[in-house]
Structure formats: C-alpha cells, structure tokens
Chains A and B, each alone.
Chain A
Amino acid sequence: MLCMTALVVVYVRHLFSVVMLFGIYSLLSALIFVVLDAADVAFTEAAVGAGVSTVFMLATLVSTGRQEKAPAHSPLLPLAVVTVTGAALIWGTLDMPHFGDPGNPVHVHVADRYIQESPDEIGIPNMVTSVLASYRGYDTMGEVIVIFTALVGVLSLLGVRERRENPVHRTGERHSRPYPVLQVMALLLIPFILVFALYVQFHGDFGPGGGFQAGVIFAAAIILYTLTFGLDDATALLPVKLICMLAAAGVLLYGGTGVVSMLLGGNYLDYDVLAHDPVHGQHYGILVIELGVGITVSTVMIAIFLALVSRAERPR
C-alpha cells in the first residue's frame, strides 16, 4: 500500500492530489511505526507528516499553483542514478543483521543500558523520553535549535504580515465564504485540543508524547482557528511578536537549564545536580526542557503557518 502510494505520487501531476497522497503516505508510515513499536515516532510522524507538513504544503500550493508541467528532459539519467543507489543499498543489505533479531549488535550494545538502567537512573517509565531528554538531551536541544533556525529562515524569507493596516482592503475576507458550522465546531474542539495538548505535554514521561508532540497539537489548535476564522483574527489573538518572543524563550529555557546545571557544578545538561536527589533532578530537568521544547515547537509551527498563509492571502 505504502509502495503504491509512493509510486503514484511520482506519477500524479495534480499537486493538490500529490500533497494529499503524501498525507496518506505519512499516515501509513505512522501505522508502520506503530507496528514496529515506535509509538512516539508514530505520534510525531502523524503530527508532522500528515499534519503540519501537509498543511504547510497546501498553504504553499495556494501561492504557487497546483498543476505540474510534464517534465521536459528524459527521465533516464535520474532513473539510472536511482537504480544504482538502490542497487548499492540492496547489495549492502545482503549481510546486514537480520530484521528483528534480538541478538543484533544494535540491541546488545548501547541501547541495552537504556533499557536496563534508565528506569532507575532517570525514574520515568517512557524510555524514549529518558533517552531523548537526558541521555541524548543535547541532540534534542539541537532539534529545538533546528526548528528555531527554520523559523528564522522562514521569517527572513517571508516575514509575517501583521494585521492589515486598513480594514477596507480585506478583499480576501469578502470573497471567502464563512462556514458557520465549522466555526462552531472549531470553537467546541479547540478547548478540547488545548487540554489534550497539555495532557500530552505532561504525560510524556509515562506514555507516548512529550514536548514536541504537545507543541504540534497546540499549534494544530491555532491552525484550526486560523483556518476557520481567518488570519486577522488569529494574529489578533496571538500577535506575531509574542509568538516570536515565546519561540526564543523556549530555546532559552532549554539552553538555560543546561547553563544552570553547569553553574551548579555538573556538566552541560546534567540534571543530576538540579536537586539533592539525582532522580528528582532528572525529573525536574526533563520537565523544564520538555516545556521549552513544547513552547518553541508550537510557536514556531504557528509562526511558520502564519507566514505561509499570509503570503497566500495577499492579493496578487
């Protein structure tokens, strides 16, 4: 099914369909992640692939047009490149460790420790969160920075239009038809979504979820609001400047935790020193940085969405 989708994506030229198929593809791969025991990843992939990315792409299509032209040059060269690459990979797989074998080096070396010790060392049941936030906490900080970089990049490319100076020019609004049913529905759903986001944020220690997923869900609520009520109302609710400040604040919260642990005598991002008991320290640390991740991710997603949409709404 996955393959079918992927291959069709190659052929279909109506870009809206391509993007929607991509959403389906993402959902499917998220399903596969579920089957492969990666609940957190499935969560994220669904949020990002099927959710945010797709919405972003759709928003882009509004400004860029929806039909792809037939390719002008022959597909032989790319085909050859792809074939060679694929062949190299398949050749390489021939003596790879077999799929799913518990004796693989992957499972016996580093990961072993995470599984055996992390509940004691970190004190939370979700090992993915422990590894994410503590053992490889620095990677996660990098991830937050990457997101932040994307925000900086998008802003420097597009900028977010604040409210229109002159309400007379709200031509976009006049054309678009209001959906009263949807607006009511959105108003019903949004509080629920926000609560759910908070739940995912703070439940991340025990089940799948955490700052990143929560951030995306939070952003999803705002995106829904923007979609049903329009850009101007959304920016009135959440001024762009505030969003940007929060994004930076989230990064600083994360980085600041590291600095604090450094000041308290540990290494950077060593949460052991945050409290008298190392396990408590880990707990506090993870809580704070997940919060930082959540804030940054949600605000960045919102900001990027607003930026893309504000271009789409601009009358040509």
Chain B
Amino acid sequence: MKGLIYFVAFFLLIIGAFGIARSKDLVHAVVCLSVAQAGTYVLLLAVGYQHHASPPVFGSPASRPTRDVVDPLVQAMALTDIVVSATVTALLLAISIQIAKRNHSVDPDELNAVEG
C-alpha cells in the first residue's frame, strides 16, 4: 500500500511534467501542470494517514475528542495547495488567452517570441 500511494503521488507529478514537455497547446500544458500538482495532494495526505483513524473533525458538541484522528496539518497544507493550484491556473490561462491573440497560435512549437 505504501509503495502504491507514493508511487501514484510521484507518478502524477512526473506524468504532469511530461504532459507539459510534449504539449502542443498551452491550455493543455496548464491543465497538465494541475495534474502535476495533484501529486502533491496525494503525497501530503498519504503522509498524514493513519489506519482506523477518523477525520480530524469532532462534529458533535457533547463528545470530547478521545478517538484517534488522521493528521490535520497535512490537510491544512493540501487546502492551501489547492488554492494555489486554482489561482496559478487562472493566471496562466489568462496569459494563454492573450498569447493566442498576439501569436495566433498556442502551440509552443510555433511560439518564438523569446529565444537565445
């Protein structure tokens, strides 16, 4: 199980990066970036997991927390990470839209505004 979950985490990171490397469309590349980021969520939550533990939320007012819960810190980190993902995606999509207008293409192979 341990091998599988960490493998999936790094697999998502690498496959996302690979998607950017082979991308023929900037929007596609931006989406692949968010796939790469999904790997970080999986890794963080895997680190904090504990078998037979509950979510770190003690809903009912009366019960004092006595049971074991999974690590809430990695969840807080993952939450922040998700916000970052959404905002970066928004910015990069906005830039891609403008690139499409100026260059009439969003294929990285055909963009040559900067080089050398």
Real binding pair: no
Question: A residues touching B (Cβ–Cβ < 8 Å)?
Answer: none
